[in-house]
């Protein structure tokens, strides 16, 4: 009530009061608009299911393939490399585009560890289909000179249509009279 009495006692012309209120109103309206605009700019991110994932191929048992529960990572523990002989796992693992739109995928290297003297190469081929005659679209080739590995750069992007599976073929070869050794290679299938 004291404040109201103070306001009553202030003698201001009507035009001055209106001007003050108008300026205050413009300030409040502008501040409101600014906060509302910044509020409408706040993004809400929701989780989504992946449209591209791994599925086991026909040679999955031989290659020792195990998939994560959501099929977004795969581990191949049964791959062997024979001395002076190229050995091919034609269809151990597949990439499936389970979505309704076309995606682009590529193979890219992540990490490499282990022996670097007993192998000749390990190749990962992305093939246009799952049959033995399917052509190779891109390949990621790890070559070993006998003293060091040559890590390849990422492949180019290839298109994978909706509801389609492409096989990842693995080709291995060990050095002639190779001793017991192992190498662990991690690669990624990039999707966009």
Partner 1 sequence: MLLPELFALLSSDLFLLLSLLTCLLEERFPKAIPYVYQVAALMGFGHLLVSKMFLTVFDEDLRFWYNFFYLAVGLANVVAVNLYLAVSKKTWVLAKVWSASVTFPTVFISIFFVYNYGYLQGATFPLLTVDLILILSVAILGIAVAVLLSPKLLRRR
Residue numbers at the binding site for partner 1 (CB under 8 A): 4, 7-8, 14, 17-18, 21-22, 24-25, 28-29, 31-33, 35-36, 38-40, 42
> What is d(CA 188, CA 145) in angstroms, rounded to the nearest whole number?
23
| Shortest Cβ 36–partner 1 spacing (Å) | 5
| Shortest Cβ 49–partner 1 spacing (Å) | 23
Which lies closer to partner 1 via its Cβ, residue 35 or residue 85? 35
> What is d(CA 104, CA 137) in angstroms, rounded to the nearest whole number?
12
| Shortest Cβ 100–partner 1 spacing (Å) | 24
Which lies closer to partner 1 via its Cβ, residue 21 or residue 75? 21
> What is d(CA 85, CA 114) in angstroms, rounded to the nearest whole number?
21
Which lies closer to partner 1 via its Cβ, residue 17 or residue 114? 17
Degrees (nearest 5) of the Cα angle 54, 183, 59?
35
Radius of gyration of the chain (CA): 32
């Amino acid at each position: 009530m004291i404040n109201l009495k103070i306001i009553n006692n202030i003698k201001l012309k009507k035009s001055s009061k209106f001007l003050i209120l108008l300026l205050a109103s413009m300030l409040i309206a502008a501040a409101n608009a600014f906060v509302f605009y910044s509020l409408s700019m706040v993004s809400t991110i929701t989780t989504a299911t992946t449209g591209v994932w791994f599925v086991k191929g026909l040679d999955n048992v031989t290659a020792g393939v195990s998939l994560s529960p959501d099929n977004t990572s795969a581990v191949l523990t049964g791959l062997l490399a024979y001395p002076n002989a190229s050995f091919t796992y034609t269809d151990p693992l597949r990439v499936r585009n389970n979505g309704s739109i076309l995606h682009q995928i590529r193979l890219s290297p992540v990490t490499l560890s282990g022996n670097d003297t007993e192998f000749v190469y390990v190749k990962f081929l992305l093939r246009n289909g799952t049959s033995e005659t399917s052509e190779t679209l891109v390949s990621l080739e790890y070559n070993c000179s006998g003293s060091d590995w040559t890590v390849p750069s990422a492949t180019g992007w290839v298109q994978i249509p909706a509801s389609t599976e492409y096989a990842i073929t693995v080709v291995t070869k060990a050095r002639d009279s190779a001793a017991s050794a192992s190498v662990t290679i991690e690669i990624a299938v990039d999707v966009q």
